[in-house]
Amino acid sequence: MTDQPDRLFAKPLNPVPDFAFNQDVARVFNDMIRRSVPGYLLLVEQIGLLAARFAKPNSLLYDLGCSLGAVTFELRKIKASGARVIAVDNSAAMLERCRANLAFTAKDHPLLPVELVQADILQLKWQPASVVVINFTLQFIPPDQRLSLLQRIRQNLMPGGVLILSEKLRFTDESTEQLLTELHLDFKRKGGYSELEIAQKRDALENVMQPDSLQTHQQRLLQAGFSQVHPWFQCLNFGSILSVA
C-alpha cells in the first residue's frame, strides 16, 4: 500500500473546498483513514472474521465503497470455494490505486477472485450475495436514499446472509456528542494533526458526510427487512453493526 502522509489540510485554504475522493485524497487515504478513524485496523481485521462465518460457497461478497481495498483484501482471504468478491467505488482515483494494491498483495496462497467495479452503489446491478460490507460509505449517500439502498441490499442477500455496516455516529444526547467528539479530536491530535488541519477537514466534510445515530441505523435496518441487527463494535464516535437477512 502507498503510504504518503496526509497533509491535505495543513495549509490555510480559502475557501475550504468540499471533500471529494479525488487523486489527492486517494494518494494519502491509507494514512488519512488510520489517523482519522480510531480502531480502523482492528475493525477491518474483524470484518474479515465476521464475514468468513457467513460467506457461502459459490456466492458473491460485496465491498461497497472499497476505497483502496482494505476490506476487499480481507474478503479475498476467506475460504469459500467458488465465491467471488465484487469491490465497488465511484472514484476512479481510488479504484486505480485499489487495483494496484490488490495486484501487489496477490501472493502465492489462494485468494478469492475479485472484480473491481467503478459505479455508484445506488445504480448497481445486483446479484445474489452472502456477504455485503459497507464500511464508512453510507454516510456519504444522500439521507433520503439510504433506506432504499438497504432494502436493495436486503433483497439481494441470500437467506442467512450478512450486511456489515460501519459508520461515524452522532449522538442525540448533547453531552455524549460533545464528549465523544472531543475524544475523537484528541485521537486526531495524538496522530499529529494540527488544529488547522482538524478544523479545515471538518469544514470540508460538513456538506458531504452526514452521520446518523446508532438508533436511526438500527431502526432503518429493521425497516429494510433484516431479522437480526447487532451493534458489535464501537470506538468513540465510530461503530459497526452486523445485520442478518
Ligand X SMILES: O=C(O)C(=O)Cc1ccccc1
Residues that bind ligand GEK (CB under 6 A): 21, 33, 44, 65-67, 70-71, 88-91, 94, 120-122, 135-137, 140-141
With contact defined as beta carbons under 8 Å apart, do 146 and 113 qualify?
no
| Segment interacting with ligand X, rule: CB under 6 A, options 33-41, 121-129, 156-164, 218-226 | 33-41
Question: Per rule CB under 6 A, is residue 97 in the interface with ligand X?
Answer: no
Chosen from ligand X, ligand GEK, none, partner binding at 201 (C-beta under 5 to 8 Å by type) = ligand X
Within residues 195-224, the interface with ligand X by CB under 6 A covers 201, 205
Point out which residues pair with 244 in neighbouring strands: 162, 228
Concatenated DSSP letters of 65-106: S-TTTHHHHHHHT---TT-EEEEEES-HHHHHHHHHHHHHH-
Chosen from ligand GEK, ligand X, none, partner binding at 121 (C-beta under 5 to 8 Å by type) = ligand GEK
With contact defined as beta carbons under 8 Å apart, do 126 and 150 qualify?
no
Task: Quote the least distance from Cβ 207 to ligand X, whole Å.
Answer: 13
Residue 225 one-letter amino acid: G
Radius of gyration of the chain (CA): 18
Grid coordinates of 97: 490505486
With contact defined as beta carbons under 8 Å apart, do 158 and 83 qualify?
no
Torsion region of 140: left, alpha or beta (phi above 0 gives left; psi -120 to 50 gives alpha): alpha
Question: Per rule CB under 6 A, is residue 154 in the interface with ligand X?
Answer: no
Question: Per rule CB under 6 A, is residue 157 in the interface with ligand X?
Answer: no
Alpha-carbon distance of 228 to 245, in angstroms, equals 7
Chosen from ligand GEK, ligand X, none, partner binding at 38 (C-beta under 5 to 8 Å by type) = none
Residue 93 one-letter amino acid: A
With contact defined as beta carbons under 8 Å apart, do 19 and 205 qualify?
yes
Q: Which is nearer to ligand GEK, 82 or 124 (CB)?
A: 124
Q: Which is nearer to ligand GEK, 98 or 245 (CB)?
A: 98
Within residues 159-178, the interface with ligand X by CB under 6 A covers 168
Q: Which is nearer to ligand GEK, 46 or 176 (CB)?
A: 46
Is 6 annotated in a binding site? The answer is no
Positions touching ligand X (CB under 6 A) are: 32-33, 36-37, 168, 201, 205
* Bind-site residues for S-adenosyl-L-methionine: 40, 65-67, 89-90, 120-121, 135, 202
